[in-house]
Amino acid sequence: MKKFSYLWKNALVLVLALVFAIPAALDFKAMQKREPIAENEALTETRMLSEYCEGLKGTPADTEIYILDSGVPGGTFLIFGGTHPNETAGMLAAVSLVENMKPTAGRFFIIPWLNKSGFTHTSPLDGMQDFFDIKLDDGSVRTFRVGNRLTNPIHQWPDRTYYEGTSGRKLVGTETAEIRNVNRMYYGNPDGVLTEKVCWGIYQLILKEGVNLTMDMHEGSPEFLYLDCTMVNEKADNPTAMSIAQGMSLDMEFDDLTMRAEFSGMKSYGLSHRSLGDNTPSMMTLMETYNPSMGPLHGKMDDDLIVGGNEPNYVEAYERGLNYFKVDDSGYPLIDRVARHITCISYLAKNYTDAHPDRAMSFEGLGSYADMVAKGLGGLLKPVGQK
């Protein structure tokens, strides 16, 4: 009887453990499944980043590169989102470009999920949720992951107490976790940690494909100083870079949009605009928009906040003079940020072409900022058979 009781208790513990473990495991596994992407006739080729860094082959960090080649000789534009997976607009802007773009000059290399490993986990202690839904115009629903800004520790562990990447950035103290941050580890290392291999892949892609212009799409919380801002590396060998970026900024202003251009910080070691700009011939840019779901003051985390983009706590913080970035009741919906990223990219391509007509790059298929906002995400994204 005593033995039976012992077994019964152990079985109960096991069942209880499974009650928690199975849903957690299913949830965890679900985050490892990449979102489908809709077909686009203009898509020329899909490659993996491991073609530029062999060490990524077969790892959870290997990611798709979508190539859209106009067939018209010109420049090459590399665009990536998902460097920080929780900065949602960059990933969705890249997905929208892949699904809608009709290139008319030059080639476009687009990576929606750059830190693919980062998309496989989330930040529960920041109150982040793992998925969000977008209802399309045909009634179907597309689900996307939110992810975490860092590589999943299951894929890269442990964080070292001291690390110095190829940029010379010293990761120590509170920065040790940044060894899993793609945007701290450029220009990467083929023999380094997994995150560095992603960086090396991008570095090699730029060199091997002769990329002329690169855009790394980001978002930030309103405590951050550089929102609606594009960082530009103005290298000695590319003195027109800031003028090209200011051309974009003026074009945005003519559309009643703010997108100022700012010099890349000289000490931004390991960041894409600094390290790739210094070590490749490409004009390097990094764009930031305001994401209301980021930052410590965000309230209830749900689809309304992620997609709707209205966070009253930040409105109040601005009214109290605590934020530089103006936040008001009208919110900052995801479609606005996605459209802003795409419009900035379009104007950068236009101004780059004006400055370098022999490296022309242009595309159609997405319309203006106003067109995209009018369509909404439900009209911009294509159905992929999800219900």
Partner 1 sequence: MKKIFVLLLAALLLLISACGRQENTPATGQKETNAGTEAYDPSKTVEFEMKTSETNRIVTVGTVDKSLYSAPILITSFGQSTDAATLDTAMKRAGANYDYKPQATADEIGSYKTLVIAVGASTKGLGQAGISEKDETARAEAIMAKAKETGAQVVCVHIGGETRRGVLSDALADLVLPQCSLIILKEDANWDGKFTNYADQNQLPIILIFGQKDTVQVMTDVFGK
Asked if 220 interacts with partner 1 (CB under 8 A), we say yes
Asked if 245 interacts with partner 1 (CB under 8 A), we say yes
Window 246-305: residues binding partner 1 (CB under 8 A)? 246-247, 249-250, 253-254, 260-269, 271, 273, 286, 288, 294-296
158: its two tokens: 């442990």
- Out of 40, 104, 123, 129, the residue judged to bind partner 1 by CB under 8 A: 123
Asked if 183 interacts with partner 1 (CB under 8 A), we say yes
Helix axes 241-254, 334-355, angle to 10 degrees: 130
Which window, 219-227, 299-307, 333-341, 377-385, contacts partner 1 (CB under 8 A)?
219-227
Q: Are 82 and 114 in contact (CB under 8 A)?
A: yes
Q: Which is nearer to partner 1, 221 or 279 (CB)?
A: 221
CB of 382 to partner 1, least distance (A): 29
Binding mask 341-370 for partner 1 (x = CB under 8 A): ----------x--x----------------
CB of 305 to partner 1, least distance (A): 17
Window 125-144: residues binding partner 1 (CB under 8 A)? 125-126
CB of 315 to partner 1, least distance (A): 15
Asked if 218 interacts with partner 1 (CB under 8 A), we say yes
DSSP three-state, residue 102: strand
CB of 56 to partner 1, least distance (A): 22
Asked if 145 interacts with partner 1 (CB under 8 A), we say no
CB of 239 to partner 1, least distance (A): 8
| C-alpha distance from residue 219 to each of 84, 93, 162, 321 (Å) | 8, 12, 27, 21
- Out of 225, 281, 312, 357, the residue judged to bind partner 1 by CB under 8 A: 225
Window 86-105: residues binding partner 1 (CB under 8 A)? 87
Q: Which is nearer to partner 1, 70 or 214 (CB)?
A: 214
Question: Among 40, 145, 122, which residue's Cα sits nearest to residue 380?
Answer: 40
Q: How far is the C-alpha of 53 from the C-alpha of 194, rounded, in Å?
A: 11
Asked if 159 interacts with partner 1 (CB under 8 A), we say no
- Out of 174, 300, 358, 387, the residue judged to bind partner 1 by CB under 8 A: 174
Question: Among 359, 86, 338, which residue's Cα sits nearest to residue 209?
Answer: 359
Q: How far is the C-alpha of 353 from the C-alpha of 277, rounded, in Å?
A: 19
Q: List CB contacts of 270: < 8 A, sequence separation 6 or more.
A: 165, 167, 168, 169, 183, 184, 185, 186
Radius of gyration of the chain (CA): 22
Backbone φ and ψ for 141, nearest 5 degrees, come out as -125, 135
Q: Can you say whether residue 350 is alpha, beta or left, with left for phi > 0 and alpha for psi between -120 and 50 degrees?
A: alpha
Q: Cis peptide before 318, with omega less than 30 degrees from 0?
A: no
Which window, 31-39, 112-120, 202-210, 240-248, contacts partner 1 (CB under 8 A)?
240-248
Q: Which is nearer to partner 1, 106 or 247 (CB)?
A: 247
Question: Among 209, 184, 183, 199, which residue's Cα sits nearest to residue 47?
Answer: 209
CB of 207 to partner 1, least distance (A): 23
DSSP three-state, residue 80: strand
286: its two tokens: 């990094």
H-helix or E-strand spanning residue 214: strand 213-220
DSSP three-state, residue 107: strand
Binding site for partner 1 (CB under 8 A): 83-84, 87, 123, 125-126, 150, 174-175, 177-178, 181, 183, 218, 220-221, 224-226, 231, 234, 242-243, 245-247, 249-250, 253-254, 260-269, 271, 273, 286, 288, 294-296, 321, 324, 351, 354
